[in-house]
Amino acid sequence: MKEKTEEETKKKRPENPEKKEYEGKLVRIMSGDIDSNNTIYHGLTKIKGISWSMSNAICHTLKIDRKRKIGSLSPEEIQKIVDFIKSPKIPSFLMNRRKDFETGEDKHLASTSLELQHEFDIKRMRKIRSYKGYRHAMGLPVRGQRTRGHFRKNKKKSVGIKKKGQGAPVKNEKKA
């Protein structure tokens, strides 16, 4: 049999120079590390608080091609994206915090500010002793899920099921 040389394999599978250029690099946007091989549309969703629809809105409003690699962004474009995320000019139904409890305005929170606000909301619910706050404090499901089969803390023991022991009588055994 004829063995293939390295030159023949390179001819059959040409390498994509664009992929090689961004390989192994990370782009940092709003305290989130994004692989530079991802497209902008997909890469922005790696930031906490940015959904697919928000990512699409960012690309559409800033007139950035969604299919471009995120590693090809210039520092000015990254700064535009960060500024847009901090104060987006989009319809309110795309924002993740509408009618804020304290201010009453529509906001869009991302990365660490979203996590902080979430913690503050839970603390407020615990403080006023609401049903949701009580469930959070007890470590139980908050949104009405059933707890009989799930949310068990001790996985080893099961309630209501006992293993048959050696001395236990067997039901369907006929006596001679």
Q: Are 88 and 95 in contact (CB under 8 A)?
A: yes
Query: Quick check: is 52 in a domain?
Result: yes
- Give mean pLDDT, residues 111-137: 90
Does residue 18 register a pLDDT over 70?
no
What confidence score (pLDDT) does residue 32 get?
A: 80
**Burial (Cβ within 10 Å: 0-12, 13-18, ≥19) of residue 65:** exposed
d(CA 172, CA 115): 59
Q: How confident is the model at residue 90 (pLDDT cuts 50, 70, 90)?
A: confident
Contacts of 126 (CB under 8 A, 6+ apart): 133, 134, 136, 137
pLDDT tops 90 at residue 123: yes
Question: What pLDDT, in 10s, does the model give residues 19-56?
Answer: 556 666 888 888 788 888 889 999 999 988 888 999 99
Nearest to 54 by CA among 3, 112, 94, 110: 94
pTM above 0.85, yes or no: no
CA dihedral 92, 114, 50, 76 (to 10 degrees): 100
Q: How far apart are CA 58 and CA 129, in angstroms?
A: 39
Measured distance CA(45)–CA(4) in Å, rounded: 43
Which position has the higher pLDDT, 136 or 175? Answer: 136
Q: Is residue 73 part of a domain?
A: yes
Domain interval for residue 23: 17-91
As a whole number, mean pLDDT of residues 6-13 equals: 58
Find the CATH number of the domain harbouring 85: 1.10.8.50
Instruction: With cut-offs at 50, 70 and 90, classify the pLDDT of residue 59.
Output: very high
Look at residue 37 and tell me if it is in a domain: yes
The beta-strand segments (E) located in 16-155 are: 26-29, 32-35
Q: How many independent structural domains does the chain possess? A: 1
